[in-house]
Amino acid sequence: MNRLQITGVLSVLLFIFSCKDKEKVMGKATEKRPNIVLILADDMGYSDLGCYGGEISTPNIDDLAYGGIRFTNFYNAARCCPTRASLLTGVYPHQAGVGRMVYGDYGGAYQGFLNRTSVTLAEVLKEAGYKTMMSGKWHVGHKESQQWPTGRGFDRFYGINIHVDSYWKVLEDCDVYLDGKLHIPATDDPQNDLHPRQDWYTTDVFTDYGMHFLNQEVAEAQDDDRPFFLYMAYNAPHFPLEAPDVDIAKYQGKYLGGWDKLREEKHRRMKEMGIIAQHTILSPPDNVNWHSLSIEDRENLDFRRAIYAAQIDRMDQNIGRLVAHLKQIGEYENTLILFLSDNGCSAETDMFGMNWDKYKKHNYEVWKEESGWSVSQGQAWANVSNVPFRRYKRYTHEGGTATPLIAHWPNKIKTGGGINTSTGHIVDIMATLVEVAGTDYPQQYHGNQITSLEGKSLLPLLENDQREGHQYIFWEHLGHRAVRKGDWKLVAVNAQPWELYDLGEDPTELNNLVDVRPELVIELQKAYFAWAEKTGVREVPLKKE
């Protein structure tokens, strides 16, 4: 073989190897990025789910947990609007403009809608090539179209821009929008356009539209393999108590044994499952003695809890429908599903719940017919939902801020059923999804300087690895405030003195060590007030919200 022939052979070989290298690189570069489904429950307690020790039937959510990872030390921002603001932006609520609620503009950190110095998950993922869809409750800006989901990065949206006052009806100021246009104005008889023969029930309809968007934007798309981001923001199990009769019937009579017995049973199960440490003490009961109540009152209270349980059960059924649909369209294996709650269970507004005297067991048909009312399960049952913790929604004690977090991703999470005890916060969701999507968090967006990301990605934990956690985690809502460093937590109810707890030894915040570790109190106070100044925390006029 002469020199020319040898040169020719070498050139061919080099070409073949370079093509294979290129194929390898291109294959990796063009490998489809994961889809993302983010599911948010509303006012659900830490231990309401079966996979967290609860008594309510949640087999579909449990399947996600046992096929994925349960986080047992994860936090929200204690209230619906602030949590949603942090979830969507990756910064603290005050930095996003929603330090309080959305009903008044107090300026700055309390303006009541997402500001333009923050950027949403939908905006970031859309820039990264994702299809962005949402169905459900928005509640982080409703007064102008620029504040709505379609004004903040979502291609598709079906739902309500503000709060949701009924599961069966569209009440005044809770109009339903589809892709930025009014779809169902206030009415006692809304129609389920996708399934006209079925009732309009929020949990069902929100799921219907989530699946509808997946069909339109994913399953039926031609020559378009872009990944999708679907945000399912249910209003369940937030009051009012409304659920289909068939679901209520599963639970009616189940609670006649009372709340104390149920709290003890849940506490035992949580220890057996490894959700809480063996040394965890159950917080003292925050309710009246069950056996001091009349039989009639017990039956009425059993019925209220049964409706609450039915709302969670119905949500679980719908999550099952959604997962089945992901399988049907071939997107299940490559989809990261995250599930969590926006705050601890609500104790509104008294021991037995709102409108206790007016709405009793035998008046449920009246409840369904009347408009403008609110009925809740009350403090005593909320004390059950938040086992083993103290306090409730709005407070920065563990009962207000601890949330289950479930991560499920067949293509990535190989150790199904695992429990992760690492401390995390709602701001971590943005950081996680940015890394999962293989994109960058912007410094500028549409001409606005964007607040630096506060969260830290959870992806290493999903890959069974370690991550560098937060030095501090902070909270403030309605004057309730807290800071956590490691296992130490400094916390206070509005206008009351600071309390200090070692959560490693005392997860239920029962042994106040504020007088034992004064130097640590000073350090944590200093960190809190520096954060408060940085994020714009201040006193605002108190009003009922």
**Domain residue limits, the chain:** 47-405+415-535
The distance between the two most distant Cα atoms of the chain, rounded to a whole number of Å, is 106
Nearest-angstrom CA–CA distance, 41 and 312:
9
With cut-offs at 50, 70 and 90, classify the pLDDT of residue 541.
low
Q: Active-site residue numbers?
A: 80, 139
CATH architecture of 47-405+415-535: 3-Layer(aba) Sandwich (3.40)
Omega of the bond leading into 240 within 30 degrees of 0 (cis): yes
Please give the average per-residue pLDDT across 443-456, as a whole number. 97
With 70 as the cut, is the pLDDT of residue 302 above it? Answer: yes
Instruction: Give the H/E segment covering residue 269.
Output: helix 259-273
3-state helix, strand, coil in the chain (%, to 5): 35, 15, 50
Please name the residue ranges forming H helices in 358-471: 364-369, 379-385, 398-401, 428-436, 459-462
Please give the average per-residue pLDDT across 214-221, as a whole number. 89
Nearest to 259 by CA among 103, 454, 45: 45
pLDDT in tens, 242-298: 999 999 999 999 999 999 999 999 999 999 999 999 999 999 999 999 999 999 999
Q: With the C-alpha atoms ordered 168, 170, 175, 178, is the resulting torsion angle positive or negative?
A: positive
Please give the average per-residue pLDDT across 497-509, as a whole number. 98
pLDDT at residue 32, as a whole number: 86
pLDDT at residue 250, as a whole number: 97
Please name the residue ranges forming H helices in 277-389: 295-328, 364-369, 379-385
Contact predicate 165/374, CB 8 Å:
yes
SS3 325: helix
Q: How far is CA 289 from the centre of its chain?
A: 32
With 60 as the cut, is the pLDDT of residue 26 above it? Answer: no
pLDDT at residue 544, as a whole number: 57
In the block, residue with structure tokens 């008294």: 350
Residue 502 is encoded by which pair of tokens? 């070692």
The overall average pLDDT reported for the chain is 92
Strands 418-420 and 69-75 turn out to be parallel
Cross-strand bridge partners of residue 341:
41
- If phi over 0 gives left and psi between -120 and 50 gives alpha, with beta otherwise, what is residue 536? left
Between the CA atoms of 440, 446, 449 and 453, what dihedral angle is there, to the nearest 10 degrees? -30
With cut-offs at 50, 70 and 90, classify the pLDDT of residue 369.
confident
Least reliable range by pLDDT among 43-47, 109-113, 306-310, 414-418: 414-418
Contact predicate 206/321, CB 8 Å:
no
Nearest to 344 by CA among 95, 50, 58, 74: 74
pLDDT in tens, 81-140: 999 999 999 999 999 999 999 999 999 999 999 999 999 999 999 999 999 999 999 999
Nearest-angstrom CA–CA distance, 147 and 315:
27
Ranges of beta strands (E only) in 361-464 are: 402-408, 418-420, 424-425, 444-445, 448-449
Contact predicate 15/315, CB 8 Å:
no
